[in-house]
Structure 1
Amino acid sequence: MKRQIVSPPELAEPRGFNHGVLVEGGKTLYLAGQDATGADGNIVAPDDLVRQFEQVLENLATVVEQAGGASENIVKLNIFVADREQYRSNLEPLGEVFGRYFEEYPALALFEVSGFFKEETLVELEGFAVIDEKGTNDAR
């Protein structure tokens, strides 16, 4: 599978995301919205956005790994937050968490929403992954 970051020079240089990711080959995995639900069915760290973000990425990684891939195979994510200002004020620790799962940012979008299914939820992510047909985790 071949993966190429698309960053047109006519657009502002992306920071903390990529404008696009072009993928050739592979199978597409559609990732359902994941919140910070732990294995026990409860939201992890109800008042901690960064810890919830980490649990959400772990949940997404688990789904991708079950399908034969790795976090790097995720090419698009939509981030839904309860409070955009809380997200913005935590960009550095959120970026550190993100860096544990990704070498390069996927294409991203951020949305502030009025509520989630579980009241304790502060963040939810959903998106797409492309996994090599040969079953390898190589996203390059």
Structure 2
Amino acid sequence: MSRLIISTPHAPAAIGTYSQAVRTGDTVYLSGQIALDPQTMQLREGIEAQIVQVFDNLKAVCEASGGGLKDIVKLNIFLTDLGNFALVNEIMARYFVQPYPARAAVGVASLPRGALVEMDGVVVLGG
């Protein structure tokens, strides 16, 4: 099965040796997104702004792949402070409706560029 590299200027450019997403068949694997503004490549300030920017970045990559956030079947959330998990849930409810994707939330010691939150996921298109 062939692979298609997904890239959009509406999400931050890769800051390492990875692609924004890779599509194989109807499945799209989203790379981790932190709260970089795609225009300035600067990290947003504060946890709420970072969560919103991460969802916006994921949305842009999903759309570039031919889908949307509704097509995410698995979402992984990495937080430097699990005390922010309730805020993630609150903001996530602005972007998703039931049925929600499968999800994991993991507390981590640090993230790239000092980010407070990072998310990646798996998208299935056409279903």
Instruction: Give structure 1 regions of 4+ aligned residues with deviation exceeding 4 angstroms.
Output: none
- 2:44 matched residue in structure 1: 44
Unaligned segments of structure 1, at least 5 residues: 1-25, 133-138
Over aligned residues, Cα RMSD in angstroms? Answer: 1.4
The count of residues paired between Structure 1 and Structure 2 equals 101
- 1:114 matched residue in structure 2: 109
Bigger relative contact order (CA 8 A; separation at least 6): 1
User: What does 1:1-140 correspond to in 2, within 5 Å?
Assistant: 27-39=26-38, 40-45=40-45, 48-85=46-83, 87-88=84-85, 91=86, 93-104=87-98, 105-119=100-114, 121-132=115-126, 139=127
Unaligned segments of structure 2, at least 5 residues: 1-24
**Could you say what secondary structure the match of 1:42 adopts?**
coil
Task: Name the CA distance, whole Å, in 1 between partners of 2:108 and 2:92.
Answer: 21
Amino acid at match of 2:101: P
- Deviation, 1:31, is 0.4
Q: Tell me which structure has the larger Cα radius of gyration.
A: 1
TM-score w.r.t. the length of structure 2 is: 0.74
**Could you say what secondary structure the match of 2:97 adopts?**
coil
Amino acid at match of 1:96: E
